[in-house]
Amino acid sequence: MSYETILTETRDAVTLITLNRPQALNALNGQVLEDLISAFAEFEADDSQRCAVLTGSGDKAFAAGADIKEMAEKDAADFYLEDFFARWTSHVAEAVRKPWIAAVNGFALGGGCELAMMADFILASDQAKFGQPEIKLGVAPGMGGSQRLTRAVGKSKAMEMCLTGRMMGADEAERAGLVARVVPHDELLTEAMKTAATIAGMPSMAAMVNKEMVNAAFETDLAQGIRHERRLFQILTASEDKAEGMAAFIEKREGKWKGR
């Protein structure tokens, strides 16, 4: 399927989605949201696809935020009645059960930083810059930034970033725990696709369960989270891939996965 504001392609079991409004530094408007919802739904529904990578077109930006020109036209009643930004949480952050990676190739500001943080993890180019500069527009994060950034980097750094609007470079973001790994700019996409291919080569139901377990750490207390983990582990032991994975280890061969 082709889209107005994003590009999609599949490479074996990996779906690559590219935000494609380079003239607006890939700013996230309503059409981008609709396109991303459809592309992620297509990825989820396609059994041949087991991991996705989201990146930005051009050399400069992953996404420089929600589209300021679109938001400037709206009043408070519009934002409230549309429950503006709600679908980013329900239809992107929470709807995708398969693993996906944000490959941040430049500016990830405001909604761009928030979208990257919706991914299961972030790989960053050494030129990436992260920030929540909404305060400079007289507003504040609206797509989860105040919560996800705080959980990722702690209160002090999140508060400083939100209150000053300053940008954080890739190395600082890695040290702070926002980013899994920083790679040279020219190697970002290759590295992200390679990492995604590694994940796609894993038993896919186990990958989904691992994702669900780690995400539970953000929503439960420790005792509940550990109980949840144990139950999911026990459920996975009923899978064909558990029998195959353990037999393959004992027989010193590669596992052949069924994804169930």
Among 56, 99, 133, 203, binds ligand CAA (CB under 6 A): 133
Identify the DSSP state of 7.
E
Q: Which of 67, 191, 229, 241 binds ligand CAA (CB under 6 A)?
A: 67
Distance CA 4, CA 55 (A): 16
Q: Which of 43, 62, 107, 257 binds ligand CAA (CB under 6 A)?
A: 107
Are 194 and 160 a contacting pair, CB within 8 Å? no
260 CB burial (10 A radius; 0-12, 13-18, 19+): exposed
Tell me, rounded to whole angstroms, the distance of Cα 92 from its chain centroid.
9
Helix axes 145-153, 155-164, angle to 10 degrees: 140
Query: Which of 24, 52, 61, 66 is the catalytic position?
Result: 66
Q: Report how far residue 29's alpha carbon sits from residue 88's, in angstroms, rounded to the nearest whole number.
A: 11
- 93 is a catalytic site residue: no
* Nearer Cβ to ligand CAA (68/206): 68
114 in active site: yes
Asked if 202 touches ligand CAA (CB under 6 A), the answer is no
> Quick check: is 66 catalytic?
yes
Nearer to ligand CAA, 66 or 104 (CB): 66
* Residues in touch with ligand CAA (CB under 6 A): 24-25, 27, 64-69, 107, 109-111, 114, 133-134, 137, 141-143, 145
